[in-house]
Amino acid sequence: MPVAAIKFIAVEEWVLEIDMGGVPVSWEIIIKLVLAMVFGGVIGLEREIGNRPAGFRTHTLVCMGAVLVMMTSEFLLEVSSLALPDPARLGAQVISGIGFLGAGTILKDGSRVRGLTTAASLWVVACIGLAIGAGFYWGALSATLLSYVTLVLLKKFEGYVPGLKDSELSLEIPNVPGQIAQITNVLAELNVRVRDIKVDPGEDDRTVAFFKLVFPPGVDKRILGAELSRLEGVKLLEDDD
């Protein structure tokens, strides 16, 4: 079987098309995949720095995969000799199918559900990849920049707005009567509002209590931890925000 000859067809600005056995190959394909690596990597890097379940490589691969799916849809639209295919069908499967990855990043830790933001970022990265694959570059770039702003800047902004964000606090305490009352007295002195309290049941000497709190301006988990450490037997457990 003869090897298909490679013949340059045209050069227009930055797009170079090559004919490989009758199937045109464009450098735009490579450029789209590189853009997917960059755009997906920007969002994934922020998640990686935060030590989240899905980080740099996961977001990059999701974005590249979405680009490839969208380009495949366009390719089938061009070469199909049968009934006109729907170019959005494969892309729609990406949007719905990304759920299996998102579900894997959501974890329940005591009274806290973690990973929802990472799951949402994976879904957004997949949509950005579809936009790149369709040639909607400005939309993909805008979504990448705004997503990064949301993940980085708005997270800091939440801390300056009272009541906007609940904070989780996990304490290891002696399993004796009156411990919760002592802790709530300290919270009241600092004007920290309590949204919810859960205590792990058990008959051991020590147990873990989970608090969902709203901090007033000027008070954070570090200040509260210093006050609670004065209580006998109370230990603040490390917990990533």
Report the alpha-carbon distance of residue 43 to residue 149 in Å, rounded: 10
- In percent, how much of the chain has pLDDT > 90? 3
- Domains of the chain by residue range: 6-158, 167-236
Token pair, residue 136, equals: 């909607």
Q: How far apart are CA 15 and CA 27, in angstroms?
A: 6
Confidence band for 83, pLDDT divided at 50, 70 and 90: low
pTM greater than 0.75: no
d(CA 159, CA 116): 19
Q: How confident is the model over 33-43, as pLDDT tens digits? A: 889 989 988 88
- Dihedral of CA atoms 119, 101, 88, 78 in degrees, nearest 10, equals 130
Structure confidence by residue, pLDDT tens digits, 178-188: 888 888 888 88
Which tokens is 85 given?
A: 């295919």
Res 239: pLDDT: 56
Q: What is the mean pLDDT of residues 205-231?
A: 81
Arithmetic mean of pLDDT, 30-56: 82
- Say if CB 124 and CB 43 are below 8 A apart: yes
Instruction: Look at residue 128 in the predicted model and tell me its pLDDT.
Output: 92
CATH of 167-236, one of 3.30.70.260, 3.30.428.10, 3.40.50.1100, 1.10.3720.10: 3.30.70.260
pLDDT at residue 223 tops 70 = yes
CA geometry: angle 200, 202, 203, nearest 5 deg: 150
Mean of the per-residue pLDDT values for the chain?
Answer: 76
Contacts of 15 (CB under 8 A, 6+ apart): 26, 27, 28
pLDDT at 59 over 80: yes
Most confident of 57-66, 91-100, 192-201, 217-226: 57-66
Segment 95-118 shows an average pLDDT of: 73
Give percent above pLDDT 70 in the chain: 77
